[in-house]
Chain A
Amino acid sequence: MSLGQRVSSDHQLARLLQIGVVLEEVVESRAAHHLDSLPPEERAAIDEEVRELLEEAADESADHRERLEALIDDLEADTVAYEEINALVDAQYGPPEDTDGVLYDQLANEETAYKFYDDLIDAIEASESEFAIDRERLLETLYEIREEEKDGVEEVTEIMEHRA
C-alpha cells in the first residue's frame, strides 16, 4: 500500500495518463451513446443547446485524449483503443431517463475528469522524481486540460440552472 499522494516513477505516471485517456474515452463514448439512446421523437426534442454540449464534450475529450497520448508515447507506453472502451461502455450502458439525466451524467463526467487531473497534478507536484518527459511540458498540458474541464463543469451547470 502506498500512503501519500505522489507519482514516483515513469511507469506510474504512464499508468495514470493511461487512466486519463480511458476517462476521456468514456466521456466521448457516453456522450455519443446518450444521443443515440433517445427515441427519435425525443432526440428531435433535445434542444440545440444540449446537442451542442454533447458534441462539444465528445470533441474536447478526443482532443484531450490526443494530448495525453502524445505524452504517453514519449514514456514508451501504449493506450487502450477508443473502439475497445466504446465496446465496454456499450456492454454496461444504461441510458438516462430524460434530458435532465443526460445533463447530470455529463456533469459527473466533467467533475470526475476535473478531480482526476487536479489530483494528478498535486501528485506530480508533490514528487521530486525525474521523469523521461519534460516536467514543465507535462504540467502545462495537464493545467490546460484541467482548466478546460473546469469550464466544462461551469457550462453544464449553467445549462442546468437556466433549464430549472
Chain B
Amino acid sequence: MNTADQYLKAIYLAQRIEDGPASTGTLADLLEVSPASVNEMIGKLEDRGLVDHEKYKGASLTDEGLGRAHDALQTYCIIERFLANVLEVEEYQDEARALESVIDDTVAERLDTIIDRPGECPDCFDPERDACERLEVGDGCAD
C-alpha cells in the first residue's frame, strides 16, 4: 500500500473517530509522523482531488478519496485477518501496521482467497480497536 493510500485510510478513520473533518493532530498520531508532514501530504491529496481541506477544521475525503480509502482499509483488514487467523500472530495490529507499506493490494487479494472475511468489510472495522469488530483471534489453522 503506498503512502497516499495510507493517508487516505487514516483520514477515513479519523473522520469516523471525530465524527467530522480529520484534524492534523489526530492524523499525525495515527500515522506517527509530524504535523508538518501531514499538512504537506494533505496539500498534495487536495491537489489530486482526493481531499477537501478547511483551515482550522481539518480534512475530509471527496467521493473519489472515499472510494480509495475504502479499498485501502479493506486491504488492511485482509492483512490483519491473515496475520491473526492464518499465521496466528498475537500482535497482529502492530504487525499489520508495520507490513502494510510492503503489501500491495494485488497480494492482499490473493491472501483473501484463504481467509473468511465478512461481506460488509470494511464497514465493520472498529477504529478504536484498530481491527474488525468481528475478528476473532486464534480461530485459524497455524501452529
**Provided the pairs A80-B141, A109-B110, A112-B107 are in contact, do residues A2 and B86 lie with their beta carbons within 8 angstroms?**
no
Stretch touching chain A among B16-24, B47-55, B56-64, B95-103: B95-103
Interface check B32, CB cutoff 8 A: yes
* A1 and B30 within 8 A (CB): yes
Cβ contacts under 8 Å, A129 to chain B = none
* B102 and A16 within 8 A (CB): yes
Cβ contacts under 8 Å, B100 to chain A = 1-2
A138 to B31, CA, bound (A): 30
**Of A19, A78, A111, A123, which contacts B111 at CB under 8 A?**
A19
**Provided the pairs A1-B31, A3-B33, A80-B86 are in contact, do residues A85 and B97 lie with their beta carbons within 8 angstroms?**
no
* B110 and A3 within 8 A (CB): no
* B101 and A12 within 8 A (CB): no
Interface check B104, CB cutoff 8 A: yes
* A3 and B101 within 8 A (CB): yes
* A26 and B104 within 8 A (CB): no
A29 to B86, CA, bound (A): 16
Cβ contacts under 8 Å, A119 to chain B = 102-104, 107
**What number of A residues sit within 8 Å (CB to CB) of B?**
35
Interface check B87, CB cutoff 8 A: yes
Cβ contacts under 8 Å, A92 to chain B = 113-116
A22 to B99, CA, bound (A): 15
Cβ contacts under 8 Å, B82 to chain A = 19, 22
Cβ contacts under 8 Å, A18 to chain B = 87
Interface check A4, CB cutoff 8 A: yes
Within 8 A of A (CB), among B95-143: 95, 97-104, 106-107, 109-111, 113-116, 141-143
Interface check A15, CB cutoff 8 A: yes
* A115 and B101 within 8 A (CB): no
Cβ contacts under 8 Å, A4 to chain B = 3, 101
* A3 and B141 within 8 A (CB): no
Cβ contacts under 8 Å, B98 to chain A = 2, 12
Would you give the shortest CB distance from A72 to chain B, in whole angstroms?
12
**Of B10, B97, B106, B142, which contacts A2 at CB under 8 A?**
B97
Interface check A54, CB cutoff 8 A: no
Q: Which of B82, B89, B101, B113 has the most CB of A within 10 A?
A: B113
25 contacts between A and B (CB under 8 A): A1-B32, A1-B100, A2-B99, A2-B100, A15-B87, A15-B89, A16-B102, A19-B82, A22-B114, A23-B111, A26-B114, A80-B86, A80-B87, A85-B86, A85-B114, A88-B114, A88-B115, A89-B114, A91-B116, A92-B113, A92-B114, A92-B115, A93-B113, A112-B106, A123-B102
